[in-house]
């Protein structure tokens, strides 16, 4: 059995590799994607459109079915009826009961069509499919887990470009503290969805009152990457101050070349060297945009970033990377 590579609170799957060349990484990603397309029925994948779930509904109900998978049976000779089970032989560990998580999410379908550049006002498939994987692994602890459960329980997670706020709702019970961010215009939508799905959530980051079931480990804050990049260093420190981040989530934020420099600046600014793990999930749309994102990321911080391709964690047209900023780069 191949031991997973441990990087911070992430356990990298077998086959995960460092990304050393953006062109090579993009070539491999899109070659594999083309192979999946050609091997699908009729030679074409199921039509996904741009990747949103349903942009025509004001409120979506998202359901996560957390299954219990029986462990694979060992290949052993069949017992004869008169043979007894050996003393001390253990039965396979029984999994947890199945669980269903239901989330109600408001969308702003008008903003999607009327507000230039606004893609976060509706729910996108990448967030749903990523959440399903993390929730399933956390539900059944017999499964190999990409994110270390005990480390995650103590971690400060900050999400960039959160959109409707789905991930903050379903993943916050698994973490120490969750900071959910997006542009100012999306804050009312995120706060509305947090209030709809987290009993007692009022925007406060204070501890839960004794004897209540309130969950207040979620903080919603506006964060515009372009404003962050363009303000002065003094203003930046005053306006964008956060507790050190253990896991920086960037899920389906890579879609247009105009936002890439600001996104990379935000990632580099928020990452604490040798501490913060950046987890990026990208839906593979425009090849040149994905390439430019990787090139900018690899050059950021004077080349201080180590980036890994996470192998086979998400099915479908996705790429997943993690990155960590080294603190000793200037000494080399």
**23-80 tens-digit pLDDT:** 999 999 999 999 876 665 554 444 455 555 666 788 999 999 998 866 544 344 444 4
- Separation CA 80–CA 216 (nearest Å): 57
Separation of alpha carbons 264 and 270, rounded Å? 10
Domains identified in the chain and CATH numbers: 5-42+147-203+214-326 (3.40.50.150)
* Rounded-to-integer distance, Cα 23 and Cα 292, Å: 9
pLDDT for position 235: 94
Residue recorded with tokens 């459109």: 49
Helix (H), strand (E) at residue 30? helix 22-39
User: pLDDT band at residue 1, thresholds of 50, 70 and 90?
Assistant: low
Residue count (the chain): 332
Burial of 183 (0-12, 13-18, 19+ CB in 10 A): middle
Tell me the pLDDT of the chain averaged across its residues.
85
Q: What is Dmax (Cα atoms) for the chain? A: 81
The dihedrals phi and psi of 93, each to the nearest 5 degrees, come to: -65, 130
- CA–CA distances in Å: residue 37 to residues 25, 32, 50, 260: 19, 9, 17, 28
At 282, is the secondary structure helix, strand, or coil? strand
Q: How many degrees, rounded to 5, is the angle at CA 228 between CA 203 and CA 26? A: 105
Using CA atoms, how far apart are residues 87 and 77, in angstroms rounded to an integer?
A: 18
Q: Give the pTM.
A: 0.86
What are 37's two structure tokens? 């397309």
pLDDT of residue 275: 98
Q: What is the pLDDT of residue 46?
A: 47
pLDDT (tens digit per residue) in 312-324? 999 889 999 999 9
Q: Please say if the pLDDT value at position 90 is more than 60.
A: no
CA atoms of 162 and 144, how far apart (whole Å):
26
How confident is the model at residue 44, as a pLDDT? 47
Helix (H) or strand (E) holding 2: none
Whether residue 304 contacts residue 325, with contact meaning beta carbons closer than 8 Å, is answered with yes
Residues 253-275: tens digit of each pLDDT:
999 999 999 999 999 999 999 99
Res. 85: pLDDT tops 80: no
């Amino acid at each position: 059995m191949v031991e997973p590579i441990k990087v911070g609170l992430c356990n990298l799957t077998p086959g995960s590799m460092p990304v050393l060349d953006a062109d090579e990484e993009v070539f491999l990603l899109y070659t594999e994607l083309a192979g999946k397309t050609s091997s699908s029925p009729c030679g074409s994948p199921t039509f996904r459109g741009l990747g949103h779930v349903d942009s025509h509904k004001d409120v979506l109900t998202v359901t996560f079915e957390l299954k219990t998978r029986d462990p694979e049976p060992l290949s052993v000779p069949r017992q004869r009826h008169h043979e007894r089970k050996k003393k001390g032989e253990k039965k396979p560990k029984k999994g947890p009961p199945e669980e269903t998580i239901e989330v109600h999410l408001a969308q702003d379908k008008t903003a999607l069509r009327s507000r230039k550049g606004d893609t976060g006002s509706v729910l996108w498939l990448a967030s749903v499919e990523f959440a399903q994987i993390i929730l399933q692994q956390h539900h059944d602890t017999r499964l190999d887990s990409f994110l270390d459960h005990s480390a995650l329980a103590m971690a400060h997670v900050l999400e960039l470009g959160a959109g409707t706020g789905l991930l903050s709702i379903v993943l916050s019970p698994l973490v120490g503290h969750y900071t959910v961010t997006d542009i100012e215009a999306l804050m009312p939508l995120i706060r509305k969805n947090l209030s709809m799905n987290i009993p007692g959530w009022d925007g406060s980051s204070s501890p839960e009152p004794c004897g209540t079931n309130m969950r207040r480990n979620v903080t919603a804050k506006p964060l515009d990457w372009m404003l962050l990049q363009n303000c002065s260093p003094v203003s930046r420190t005053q306006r964008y101050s956060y507790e050190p981040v253990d896991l920086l989530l960037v899920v389906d934020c890579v879609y247009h070349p105009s936002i890439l420099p600001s996104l990379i600046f935000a990632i580099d600014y928020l990452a604490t060297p040798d501490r913060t793990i950046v987890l990026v999930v990208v839906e593979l749309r425009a090849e040149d945009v994905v390439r430019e994102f990787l090139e900018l990321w690899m050059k950021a911080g004077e080349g201080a970033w180590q980036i890994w391709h996470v192998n086979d964690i998400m099915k479908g047209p996705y790429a997943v990377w993690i990155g960590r900023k080294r603190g000793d780069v200037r000494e080399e």
